[in-house]
Amino acid sequence: MRLWLVFVGAISVLGQVTLLRELAVASYGVELVYVLALGLWLLGSAGGAAGLGKLNGRAAWLLTALLLPSAAIFLRGARPLLGTVPGAYLPFGTQLAIAAMAIVPCAALLGALFPIAARPAPSLPRAYALESAGGVLGGLASTALLKAGVPNWPTLLACSACALVAASLGLSQPRPRWLPPLLIALGAILVAAWAWSVTLDQATTRWAHPSLAATRDTPYGRITAEKSEGLVSVFDNDALAFDTEGTEAEEFVHLALAEHAAPRRLLLLGGAASGVLTEALGHGPESIDVMELDEAFFRLVHPLLPERTRATLADPRVRVLFGDPRRHLEDGAERWDAVLVAMPEPTSAASGRYYTQEFFALVASRLSPGGILALRLPAAENRWPAALVRRVASVDRALRRSFKDVLALPGSKLVLVASQSPLEHDAEALASRLRARSLRARAATPEYVHFVHTNARKDEIASLLASSEAEPATDRRPACFRDAVDLWLAKIAPDLARQAAGWHGWGAWLLISVALALLMGGIASARWLSCGRPRGLAFLAGFCGMVLETVLVLRYQAQRGVLFEDLGLLLMLFMAGLAAGTAVLARWAPAVPSRARVLGLLLGIGVSSAALVLTSGGGSEGVLAQTAGLLLVTGAITGGLFAQATAGAANPGSLYAWDLAGGCVGAVLTSLLLLPLVGFDAAAATAGMAALAGVAVAL
């Protein structure tokens, strides 16, 4: 049965990763939907472990093999099936329903397989350790397959095939007569689907992209390109990244570079394919370094670009590099006259790291005397909602901490230009600079630049930003989480967004205090309920583990960027810690009194939380080793607490469900309340406070 437990853990993690990727694409890459889906997965697993533990093992594996690809097909076809406007956000209830219909059934079946496989095991802690070890293998497989260039669809089919193999072998259960023919038929379907996986992938992608030209899964998301009558539109996780007929690139570049009298050496962070490079070459620089984050994205889109754009990429003045732009700035010693940030808008830890005070200070150290930094942010032409004001103001405040002069220029997108030297504010002088450079602009002509600088809207925006109470965006407390919550709610639930507008300052701490009081009260009351102590400790283990894991992984994103291979490694390290902590406590700790073990583990959670707060922030140097160590330690402590809660338990499904329920609460609370409102430090401290509440259960 040990092999079956490892198998359950591996398929659970691999299936979870592939389905959550599909859901991320179906939700336009909104990170918050991904987090809610993770909560739904944990909730479904808890329900399956508690309510489906007596299900036939073969039937559970067969249903899993069928549901995994079916859920992916459903997610790809949900928006076209509902007849929604392309690119429009679905109502919150509809999004949640789609996620639940795709995620919960698969999670429930995989959750039910744990108590089925664990029933003959010598002890629940050891069963949990074996299942966690399987999770390490599943995480390794998901990372290795993506690194090898295997798309999500074949990975999902492989996961389904493994479930089919498990159904054929069974869990020491009788094999009915109808099983072999059914397995042969399903196996043949899977083999055919694997052989035609590229065709199936493209066919299902065309449901949302009828003019599909190319699509590919990369470590950073799904890139899709459409081509129709010469127009190329590129989508990142189904959200429009750029099109080749737009004028946003020239507006951004010409408004920015007009502020420098003679830009000779330029650094572009992104934007090579979207036209930023083409427009920048028009200013006559001696050299341009282009730093692109996703090489697979660049290689996919390059053949589809207009001839003029591809020619600029071959210009001898241009050097294209691939990697993390922030690490490139940290490791190098070069200086530039202008740095243009054309990265995605700050809606997540992945993109928000290019809009923080620490990043701006890093850029300032790499600018030549009189050099400029420019970036762009989505903004409304007329009235700005409170959430938009707060987002722009947080970036503006962060810029002003590193630069002496900052200018906000309205347009189709807001352009922010910053410098240590005084910027040029005279509209006629700026227009004259652009006339002298003989630019080929369709929209951002010298007259347009003159209009932007003399428009009353420029002064209105400056006054609006100055009056905002927003705090500067930092690595320790990224504003992207809070802004993403507000702006996302404004799109899908305007009434709720208006109520959430007051969730800041003391209001934020009041909400968090109420949530913590309810949580601690529930944990403490478990001490006096029948069988409440094991359930309370199992819930606490899941809650604290998920809070610390979420904070560590998202903090790693903020410091190092979205490197999916590295994130997969981090998840594997946490699972390895779980397996080791559970196994060690189950085997070697019984000589220590029970209460002493629990109190020691709770103290360990508190110390780990404090260590996470103290090491938060800073650059990327050494953060991988630091994060890996903390994940191993927190995983081991969490696994040990679960082992202590379940020692001698007769019902593995019930306590496993309580652990998963705690993880669900921790994921949702951390991602939708703690991180958006108070940042990494307070989120990590919450785990320590919850551990203190757990003392009432231990005593």
d(C-alpha 613, C-alpha 599), whole Å: 21
At 102-131, the pLDDT tens digits run: 999 998 888 888 887 776 655 667 777 788
Highest mean pLDDT among 25-29, 435-439, 529-533, 660-664 belongs to 435-439
- Residue 212 corresponds to which tokens in the numbers above? 């599909």
* Percent of the chain residues past pLDDT 70, beyond the cut: 81
Total count of residues recorded for the chain: 699
Instruction: Specify the DSSP element, H or E, that contains 396.
Output: helix 386-402
What is residue 86's predicted lDDT score, i.e. its pLDDT?
66
Model-wide pTM > 0.85: no
155-192 as b/e: b if 16+ CB within 10 A: bbbbbbbbbbebbbeebeeeeeeebeeebeebeeebee
- pLDDT(149) > 90: no
Residues 688, 610: contact at Cβ < 8 Å?
Answer: yes
**323 Cβ neighbours under 8 A, 6+ residues apart:** 291, 293
* Percent of the chain residues past pLDDT 90, beyond the cut: 18
- Residue 636 corresponds to which tokens in the numbers above? 């081991």
Would you give the end-to-end CA distance of the chain in angstroms? 35
- Please name the amino acid found at residue 126: R
What is residue 401's predicted lDDT score, i.e. its pLDDT?
92
- pLDDT(216) > 70: yes
Going 454 to 457 to 463 to 466, the CA torsion angle's sign is: negative
Other CB atoms within 10 A of residue 6 CB: 21
* Beta strand segments in 328-484, E: 336-341, 367-378, 405-409, 413-419
d(C-alpha 681, C-alpha 340), whole Å: 31
Going 280 to 282 to 283 to 285, the CA torsion angle's sign is: positive
Domains with residue ranges and CATH for the chain: 1-205 (1.20.1250), 247-477 (3.40.50.150), 502-699 (1.20.1250)
Q: What is the mean pLDDT of residues 290-302?
A: 88
Phi and psi angles of residue 338, each rounded to the nearest 5 degrees, phi first: -150, 140
Mean pLDDT of the chain: 80
| Alpha-carbon distances, residue 114 vs 11, 61, 101, 132, 637 (angstroms) | 11, 12, 21, 11, 21
At 30-48, the pLDDT tens digits run: 666 666 777 888 888 888 8
d(C-alpha 346, C-alpha 30), whole Å: 11
3-state secondary structure of 386: helix
Q: Taking Cα atoms as reference points, which of 632, 612, 603 lies closest to residue 685?
A: 612
Going 578 to 580 to 583 to 589, the CA torsion angle's sign is: negative
At 669-685, the pLDDT tens digits run: 887 777 776 677 778 88
At 67-92, the pLDDT tens digits run: 999 999 999 988 888 777 666 667 76
- pLDDT(668) > 90: no
Phi and psi angles of residue 414, each rounded to the nearest 5 degrees, phi first: -75, 130
At 393-407, the pLDDT tens digits run: 999 999 999 999 999
How confident is residue 490, by pLDDT bands cut at 50, 70 and 90? Answer: low
- Of 614 and 659, the structure prediction assigns the larger pLDDT to 659
At 527-582, the pLDDT tens digits run: 544 455 777 788 888 888 888 888 888 777 777 665 555 666 777 788 888 888 87
3-state secondary structure of 226: strand
How confident is residue 591, by pLDDT bands cut at 50, 70 and 90? Answer: low
Q: Name which of 90-104, 435-449, 572-586, 604-618 the model is least confident about.
A: 604-618
* DSSP H helical ranges for 561-647: 564-588, 594-614, 623-646
